[in-house]
Amino acid sequence: ILNVEQSPQSLHVQEGDSTNFTCSFPSSNFYALHWYRWETAKSPEALFVMTLNGDEKKKGRISATLNTKEGYSYLYIKGSQPEDSATYLCAFKGGSQGNLIFGKGTKLSVKP
Amino acid sequence: EAEVAQSPRYKITEKSQAVAFWCDPISGHATLYWYRQILGQGPELLVQFQDESVVDDSQLPKDRFSAERLKGVDSTLKIQPAELGDSAMYLCASSLFDVAYEQYFGPGTRLTVT
Question: pLDDT per residue over B26-70, tens digit each?
Answer: 999 999 999 999 999 999 999 999 999 999 999 999 999 999 998
H helical segments located in B34-83: none
Cβ of B25 under 8 Å from any chain A Cβ?
no
Q: What pLDDT does B43 receive?
A: 96
B/e letters for A11-23, b = 16+ CB within 10 Å, e = fewer, are: bebeeeeebebeb
Q: What pLDDT does B77 receive?
A: 98
Three-class SS of chain A: CCCCEEECCEEEEECCCCEEEEEECCCCCEEEEEEEEECCCCCCEEEEEECCCCCEEEECCEEEEEECCCCEEEEEECCCCHHHCEEEEEEEEECCCCCEEECCCEEEEEEC
Given an 8 Å threshold on Cβ–Cβ distance, is B100 in contact with A51?
yes
How many helices and strands (H and E) does chain B possess?
0, 11
Closest by CA position to A38, among listed A99, A90, A94: A90
Q: How does pLDDT run across A54-104, given as a tens digit for each residue? A: 999 999 999 999 999 999 999 999 999 999 999 999 999 988 777 899 999
Query: Could you say which of B41, B102, B104 has the minimum Cβ distance to residue A49?
Result: B102
Write phi, then psi, for A105 (nearest 5 degrees).
95, 160
Given an 8 Å threshold on Cβ–Cβ distance, is A104 in contact with B102?
no
Distance between CA A87 and CA A39 in Å, rounded? Answer: 6
Q: What pLDDT does B1 receive?
A: 72
Given an 8 Å threshold on Cβ–Cβ distance, is B99 in contact with A98?
yes
Residue B4 clears pLDDT 90, i.e. is over it: yes
Distance between CA A8 and CA A107 in Å, rounded? Answer: 8
What is residue B73's DSSP assignment? S
Residue of B nearest to A41 (CA): B107
Q: What pLDDT does B72 receive?
A: 85
Interface of A with B (CB under 8 A): 4, 31-32, 34, 36, 41-46, 49, 51, 89, 91, 93, 96, 98-105
Distance between CA A66 and CA A57 in Å, rounded? Answer: 9
**Rounded mean pLDDT, A39-65:** 95
Q: What pLDDT does A92 receive?
A: 95
Q: Which residues of B touch A32 (CB under 8 A)?
A: 99-100
